[in-house]
A and B are shown apart, each in its own frame.
Chain A
């Protein structure tokens, strides 16, 4: 265990912990105690445990750095969940967490020796080796894959609950620090409905821990006053513990909590996302015991933790002196202040801490942190004198300490603004990025907008809030004031990077990238910052460059000799912080569409199959043993339609109503056939091709009136067809109205020689006799009091009626048919039998017997193409194709050898070792007493009686013969009965 000791500071230190409530938890199998309000990282720190994880490449010991969830050093594994930020995870009774990425134990990681090999592992080392001789990489890869990754996934993890919620607001304020509080109040007071979003569990942001060169008491009371005003304002809703992870087009914000995704649409967004303190770069700058000023202050002020006993503070700005005062106030000895400026920015501050007994060394830097054996804490620092150039000289001495606090500046958290189109550009005056190209209907305030002095931050928030209110058309009474900001200029050091000849001077903690790695990336020719990033992987780890991109850009531009000013940071992409699959997926429901008869089917033994989003009865197993009887069941269902009467649920077919003076013209353009002269009361086949002439859908058009068609589409095609109709007519502007009525009407096809007898037994105002209701007629009326569109069509090739009835009355109709049909032996029939029945008739199924290149003539459907029409979708392509020889044709076939192997669908038709086609449908036909099928063959093989070869499993060739379709009832007498 580390000798690094910490203990709790007395109140008022520790503003978020409740010392009356102790919580026990475990880390790495060992029991600890913390207080309510502690995070795992703070509670462990209170127990003297700073080491939380091991780094990705060199397995360096790492502890939380920002204590605000902005670095990935604090990644731990909690049960099945990998990569949990320990500095954001509240402790709870029974919590048990483990460190990550080690071999052995977190404290004794055998893989730490990887660090000693670092000189053999230059930047991009994996590109340089492991690939010779040819074929060796897979062996190395196994080794790499063992070393890869951080957290572990349990492939048997239990499923948890996730959900989603929509939110709306006039103004979304992201960030509940001083700027956000001030912005929210200004906008809300002007009458806007405001949602204030804060990632931490409490509002206040930096007001909770920073000094702002004042007395903490004053900051405390300001914070309490602002939060009080926010809480009392009815126009402000506050959402704490939620991370804004994405800012998508039109102010669509993704806010995530551990088990919920909020999707917020805001009229106006104000980003008050703050900034993140940057690391100072020197040897061993990554070890536990080295902390940034804000991280130190968070530990002390929020959690009441004494971060060390003897501190050294290295600083480039006034914030560093603030921390000195904080440490002294907490009774911690400050060994020295190392001011990296040539002359201190504020002589008053130097004076102030000097009089308190702290030595200030100006124009000096930390060259190295001295680690304790095992690298789990530090025992001191090496101080180097700086030359006038700002580089470290050889003049050095050591100071003992167990805590090194650095304060060299911030980078704005502009990532979200960049998701929405903003850019982060390096500014020479500020030595930092500034956010430019702020998207419309939004604003920025606070340190993300490079305001650092408290008065300036508050004024900036207020201005942004008032601007938002004005943008919404409100008339705020107050005027905005611009406050001069004295702090922004002096906060960031231009180059807080002090490389060490022995390395381990980390720029990117996530990826273990050092100064030399970046310099060498440029030396290797990767000068462009984006290329340097991709080659070195700097900024590609879990914290996505929040703590590394500023320093990385400084190094790359310095080495390559390019200007820093105006250079932009590498592209920022969502999410801001990694977000779990579960939160994004939510309740993970995929809509399932069921017909009104679904329950009936299930009760009657239906075995379902998916058809797009629908479930359809494949066949009805009854009460029999299912597996054993599939073929038998299907054969029985086929027989009942051929011999008696059966009823098929066809509700899944798409239904679209087309009304208006141009209805027939519209169909003429959408489909290949002709509809202008289609008589009212008749049905006609519909065939749709796309712009390339390929078949995409089919169905039936029923003309109910001169200006009114009811049409069907395939089950899976309905949405696409409808969408295309709307899109096309947006171009054509025909006088029609199209309405998708798929779920308005349910359909049932009653078919078989006895179907007319069934229909005539049910009370109806329609005449089902042959003369009154011939083949392809369409009638509207009522059956058993239920309104019906009835049509005589012949997909299965028997006398039959397709009844389209209102969805809500369909089940009653279905039950009536079943009841009345009982005496004729009626049975429900599933899709499998229907497939056999239609195959016997040679009818194609779109998508099964066609592919994306099947043109009407290839499927022998040229009869359904009216080429005399001036236009239909696909006409130019079809016209063009007809000038070319045909390459294949869909034909019916039978097998020459009835005892040989039976081809499966998709087996190839092969001639002289060349693929000329394939089998698209194949089935045993009881009626024909043989195997029949459809196949694409070469045109010369398409003549009835021609033979061709099908290549089946194991390369066997099976001889087949082309047969005229329909196989069954070739004269089509039965469907016209």
Chain B
């Protein structure tokens, strides 16, 4: 029994361990306003306070804490990307992840389960080898494994040769991990608030204006706010928000759905991804299979679930794990993914001074939470983008300097 729990058992009355102080009234001016109370925005607020001593910060969240894509993603963390820029960025994120639980004082259930990207075609083998080569060159633990090795890493997998798309091999990324997404947001929120950051839930930004003095005026449904700097971190609504301040983003927003099974006695150790079958699946510490698939084929801002999604996903799940036909889908949901042309995020300065953007996170945003938060905090504090995120600035699209990660996306889009 860990000490941390013993004290709850012996105290007479529950003293609680309040994560968040009660909400304060919204003020009319802050040094920095972060729009979006998801993982990214909260992490940015936390690092602004911790690393730069800036705590006159408000995080505005139109729903409840981390109610957007932070709460909807399937919480997979990896760094086996295709471009050196991407791989190095996510690798730094994984370094931060490993010590994050202790730092935030909350169990993030960060679990390195190993990540397998299955290849069913020789084209997929080629892409897997490409990723493995780039990764190894950069010192990232990643390799192409054959069927024999795969049978050892994931004995439950259907490796039969007479299925529709037989598995030929896989890209294996041993540090690939899952984490408890809510805990990440709560940990950052608590850490930020302890340093004086204010988090305002149910506060929606309705208008943004850049003033001549360089400050930024925000209209919200609870009154207007003047901000020295603004960081936008609203995955799923990035284009709509940026439009308010006159920035047009090269983003196409499409629904991305996911689902969980009922809790089952754990049997699946690694995270398994198949690009050809449009699946990613892992089994959580609760025993639920967390499953996702391809993005929906049309742009939409609706998060209604569809039947096609679970029908298609389960057909493909049974290709890989035929014995799961009696397992049951418990719940399905959808988020909105902001897809960029090159499948890399957008971080950095914008044409509007003192307005910084953190967007274009498509289906890959959760894993970047720590590194992105830290880099965006540095940017907001210094006005200069750290090297790690320079390749991802918005201007790259007008300079044709894209960071092509389409080949490293988990599933087809």
Q: Could you tell me which A residues sit within 8 Å of B by CB distance?
A: 56, 80-83, 117, 119-122, 125-134, 137-138, 141, 144-146, 148-157, 159-160, 162, 246, 248-249, 252, 254, 261, 263, 419, 421, 516, 519-520, 523-526, 528, 530-531, 534-535, 541-542, 544, 573-575, 578-582, 584-586, 588-590, 592, 609-610, 691-693, 847-848, 851-853, 877, 880-881, 884, 904-908, 910, 915, 918, 951
Contact = CB atoms under 8 A, between A and B. Distances in A.
- Enumerate the 9 nearest inter-chain pairs by beta-carbon distance, A residue then B residue, closest first: A149-B287, A582-B325, A578-B328, A120-B9, A525-B20, A148-B287, A906-B130, A129-B2, A129-B4
B65 interface: yes
A129 B2 CA distance: 6
A692 B263 CA distance: 44
B127 A126 contact: no
B382 interface: no
Interface of B: 1-6, 8-9, 14, 16-22, 64-65, 67, 71, 84, 98-99, 101-102, 106-112, 120-123, 126-127, 129-130, 133-134, 137, 155-156, 164-165, 180, 182-183, 186, 201, 261-267, 284-287, 304-307, 310-311, 313-315, 317-319, 322-333, 341-343, 398-402, 404, 406-407
24 contacts: A121-B5, A122-B8, A152-B265, A153-B326, A155-B267, A155-B323, A162-B325, A249-B306, A263-B307, A523-B16, A524-B16, A528-B201, A531-B65, A542-B330, A574-B310, A582-B326, A584-B315, A585-B314, A692-B341, A692-B342, A692-B402, A906-B127, A915-B84, A915-B134
Given A141-B111, A419-B305, A906-B129, A523 B14 contact: yes
Contact of A852 (B123, B183, B407): B407
B311 A83 contact: no
A851 B409 CA distance: 13
B64 A884 contact: no
A585 B317 contact: yes
B407 A125 contact: no
A134 B326 contact: no
Contacts, number: 287
B263 A80 contact: no
B160 to A, nearest CB: 12
Contacts of A905: 126, 129
Nearest to A519: B14
Nearest to A522: B16
A581 B325 contact: yes
Nearest to B401: A884
Nearest to B65: A531
A133 B326 contact: no
Given A248-B305, A590-B315, A877-B400, A528 B65 contact: yes
Given A129-B4, A159-B325, A530-B64, A584 B314 contact: yes
A147 to B, nearest CB: 9
B264 A153 contact: yes
A83 B328 contact: yes
Contacts of A155: 155-156, 267, 323
Nearest to A510: B263
A120 B18 contact: no
Contacts of B333: 573
B286 A592 contact: no
Nearest to B23: A527
A864 to B, nearest CB: 19
B325 A148 contact: no
Contact of B16 (A149, A248, A520): A520
Contacts of A586: 311, 315
B17 A581 contact: no
A137 B317 contact: no
Contacts of A848: 123, 126
Contacts of A578: 261-262, 328-330
Contacts of B109: 126, 137, 141
Given A129-B107, A528-B65, A579-B329, A134 B98 contact: yes
A80 B323 contact: yes
A588 B64 contact: no
B311 A584 contact: yes
B265 A908 contact: no
B323 A153 contact: yes
A113 B398 CA distance: 64
Given A248-B306, A585-B318, A610-B165, A157 B111 contact: no
A907 B133 contact: yes
Contacts of A261: 311
Contact of B18 (A248, A523, A534, A904): A523
A150 B287 contact: yes
Given A133-B102, A153-B327, A905-B126, 12 more contacts: A80-B323, A81-B326, A126-B109, A127-B180, A128-B5, A129-B107, A132-B101, A148-B284, A525-B22, A531-B65, A609-B122, A852-B404
